[in-house]
Amino acid sequence: MKTDLMTLAAQYDAFLIDQFGVLLDGAGAYQGAAAALSSLTGMGKQVVLLSNSGKRAAPNAARLTRLGFDRDSYITVMSSGEAAFGEIKGRIGQDIAPGAAVWVHARDGDMSAVAGLDLTPVNEAAAADLLIIAGSRADEFDRAHYRTWLAPAAQRGVPAFCTNPDIKMLTPQGQRFGAGAIAQLYEELGGTVEWVGKPYPLIYRMAQAVLGPSERILCIGDSPEHDIAGGRAAGFATALVRTGLHAGLSEAALLEHCRATAMPDFIIPSFRWEGP
């Protein structure tokens, strides 16, 4: 059903809101997004930003502040990187050996995925006992580079975490393949991957724990495969924005895509505090 953010705000108590494609494009914030987020919290709504970012909560929050978002307009950024950090921390000494050599692949040199953990970072996947695929540098390297880097680890059976399941990402240069596509390549090479983020259950359980006993929860995102499928599987209502990854699709093509992946409860034109 087509509607708008103002209408939905009156119907739900809590919101799980995607970052890229909803609040941000590849270069910065969408016009009106920061004001709309503040308007939601101004109505007393609980807001958690639910993001397939391999970076942890603090770096995500810092970026949003730089881009003009009020830190008081959301409770936290429950990123896939933050969810994975808690999961990995709890498993060191169990199925992850203390001090294990870990290769972290992220954007901007971000190593927050393992900061403070009893793991030993290494520079090459071939030398690692554990891989963390937290981001894609597809604007610098093509798939052939990744195949060369990852093949030795896959052959040795090194386990991997994908902490950003997005298959595509938005960049200032347009869409590029995301960390999820790199993890898929690792599986094709024979490696095993544990996926953390949307649409997988862990991140939704952690986000709901932050929200507490809210019953009327709405997930807003731009990806039927991730935001809508994950929200529906978690038992929440869902709204798809017409910005982001599929902004260029016609209405008919978008609906066909949703039928093949996951159908939202609502479709809104953008994350702005105004009607359609």
Q: In this structure, what CATH number is given to the domain that contains residue 189?
A: 3.40.50.1000
Would 85 be classed as within a structural domain?
Answer: no
Residue 77 domain-assigned?
Answer: no
Q: For residue 124, is it within any domain?
A: yes
Indicate whether 122 belongs to any domain.
yes
Q: Are residues 48 and 136 in the same domain?
A: no
| Predicted local confidence at residue 173, as pLDDT | 72
Among candidate residues 176, 195, 214, the one where a domain is terminated: 195
Q: Are residues 98 and 188 in the same domain?
A: yes
- Token digits for 120? 């030993």
The whole-model pTM stands at: 0.86
What pLDDT, on a 0 to 100 scale, did the predictor assign at position 205? 93
183 and 105 both lie in a single domain = yes
Is there a single domain that holds both residue 120 and residue 47?
no
Q: Are residues 108 and 190 in the same domain?
A: yes
Confidence (pLDDT) at 246: 86
Q: Give dist(CA 221, CA 21) in Å, integer.
A: 7
Distances from the Cα of 143 to the Cαs of 98, 140, 153, 181, in angstroms?
32, 10, 16, 9
pLDDT in tens, the chain (276 residues): 899 999 999 999 999 999 999 999 978 999 999 999 999 999 999 999 999 988 899 999 999 999 999 999 999 999 999 999 999 999 999 999 999 999 999 988 889 999 999 999 999 999 999 999 999 999 899 999 999 999 999 999 999 999 999 888 877 777 889 999 999 999 999 999 999 999 999 999 999 999 987 789 999 999 999 999 999 999 999 999 999 988 889 999 999 999 999 999 999 999 999 744
Q: DSSP letters of 139-196?
A: TT--HHHHHHHHHHHHHHT--EEES---SEEEETTEEEE-HHHHHHHHHHTT--EEE-
Among 195, 230, 250, give the residue marking a domain's end. 195
Please list the residues that pair with 2 across neighbouring strands: 267
| CA atoms of 148 and 151, how far apart (whole Å) | 6
**Same domain assignment for residues 110 and 202:** no
pLDDT tens for 5-18 read 999 999 999 999 99
Q: Are residues 191 and 202 in the same domain?
A: no
Residue 16 lies in a domain: yes
Is 38 found in the same domain as 128?
Answer: no
Domain membership of residue 63 (yes or no) is no
Strand partners, 121: 102
**Angle subtended by helix axes 179-188 and 143-156, to nearest 10:** 50
Q: Residues 263-275, buried b or exposed e (16+ Cβ, 10 A)?
A: bbbbbbebbbbee
Do residues 16 and 29 both lie within one domain? yes
Cα separations in angstroms, 91 against 87, 96, 203: 7, 6, 17
DSSP state of 30: P
Looking at the structure, do residues 241 and 186 belong to the same domain, yes or no? Answer: no
Residue 74 lies in a domain: no
At residue 265, what are phi and psi to the nearest 5 degrees? -75, -35
Residue 144 lies in a domain: yes
Which of 179, 195, 211 is where one domain is finished?
Answer: 195
3-state secondary structure of 58: helix
Task: Compute and round to an integer the Cα radius of gyration of the chain.
Answer: 18
Same domain, 27 and 117: no
CA 88, 136, 206, 212 torsion-angle sign = positive
150 and 168 in a single domain? The answer is yes
Q: How far is residue 103 from each of residues 29, 108, 134, 160, 197, measured CA to CA in Å?
A: 31, 15, 10, 9, 19
Which pLDDT score is estimated for 212? 80
The residue segments making up the domain with residue 48 are 5-52+198-268
Give the per-residue pLDDT at 276: 44
**pLDDT recorded at residue 206:** 93
Give the sheet arrangement for strand 237-241, strand by strand: 77-79, 46-51, 14-17, 217-221, 237-241, 266-268
Quick one: CA dihedral 247, 248, 250, 252, positive or negative? negative
CA–CA distance, 121 with 271 (Å, rounded to integer): 39
Q: Are 102 and 122 in contact (CB under 8 A)?
A: yes
**pLDDT reported for residue 156:** 97
Residue 236's pLDDT is what? 96
The domain total for the chain is 2
